[in-house]
Amino acid sequence: MTLLQTKTHRLAWPIMATALVVSWSSGFVGIRYASENADVMLVLFWRTLMSGLILLPFALLIGARISGRALIQQMAFGVAMMFLYLGGFALAIGQRVPTGLVALISDLVPLAIAALSQPVLGHRLTRRQWIGTSLGVTGVLIVSLDSLTLGTAPAWAYLLTVASMMVLALATVVQKRMGTINMPIHQSLCIQCLTAAILFAACAEWNGGLMPPLDARFGFGTAWLVLFSTFFCYGTYYASLRIYTASQVSSVIYLSPPVTMLWGWSMFGEPLSTAMFLGLAVTLFGVWFTSSRSAASTDFELSQQHIG
């Protein structure tokens, strides 16, 4: 391997991790714009519908023929990773669960994936990785400390946020276990988006109809959600899962709350706090500690032993 190839290989993960966390946190920006004058379920319907329709011709014309079994599998993951995950959090917010608490619970996905990786994938996490994961959780708690309130939502709404988070974590490790992650991304994402769109359509129709408001905010927010928060984010997420372990990929999601606050500061003038910078520093260290070369190498060796 040449020196240039070695440097490129070493830079691959930092570049993909940065792209993932920026695009993952960008969803809040699109939702804020698009849902200004529209129901959240309506926003999610148009997001998934437009994403699926744009990908449809590519899914049909490029790549291997999709078997009936693969279609059913991806539809199931569409229900889990799009409808239940995104819709669950949207419904919880609609029931007045504080958004700070929802964001905190959603960003505990990496901890759930780490816990599920051993029984489902056989990936035994090292002590170093558990320490890094704990640091990531600590950073998220610091960042979210000021916004944590219980609110007045019904008890089931709080349980719904936890259930939605666990659905995404379980679906992630099951995809890795079944090997369905190897389907071309444009095909799997197309199937998942269109499946979720059908279910979100039913929810939006129940809440008032499918006609979107004809204003610039909804248009910009939907375009942002489709191009950046769906295509770029999910594409980077699935591409990363093909190359790296589930625990390593999910560890960078801990950076979502502080990066989301940076989005809010730069685009909406929202204030920053000392707690945010402290939490960001702790989270960055935890992510580095979890996915540094020695931890990644150990995780890779364990996964290879499991495969063998």
Q: 198 Cβ partners below 8 Å, 6+ apart?
A: none
| Residue 130 neighbours by CB under 8 Å, 6+ apart | 114
**Is pLDDT above 50 for 305?**
no
Higher pLDDT, 121 or 154: 154
pLDDT at 151 over 90: no
Neighbours of 304 (CB within 10 A): 9
pTM for the complete prediction?
Answer: 0.74
Predicted local distance difference test score (pLDDT) of residue 239 = 84
Residue 122: per-residue pLDDT? 58
- Reported as a pLDDT band with limits 50, 70 and 90, residue 179 is low
Q: What is the DSSP string of 123-146?
A: -PPPHHHHHHHHHHHHHHHHHHGG
State pLDDT tens for residues 91-145: 877 676 766 566 667 767 766 776 676 655 556 667 777 787 778 778 767 766 6
| Distance from C-alpha of 8 to C-alpha of 14, rounded to nearest angstrom | 10
Measured in whole angstroms, how far is the alpha carbon of residue 295 from the centre of its chain?
Answer: 22
Percent of the chain with pLDDT over 90: 15
Token readout for 190 is 């197309």
DSSP class of residue 107 equals T
Mean of the per-residue pLDDT values of the chain: 76
pLDDT of residue 144: 61
Q: Record the tokens describing residue 258, joined without a space.
A: 């502080």
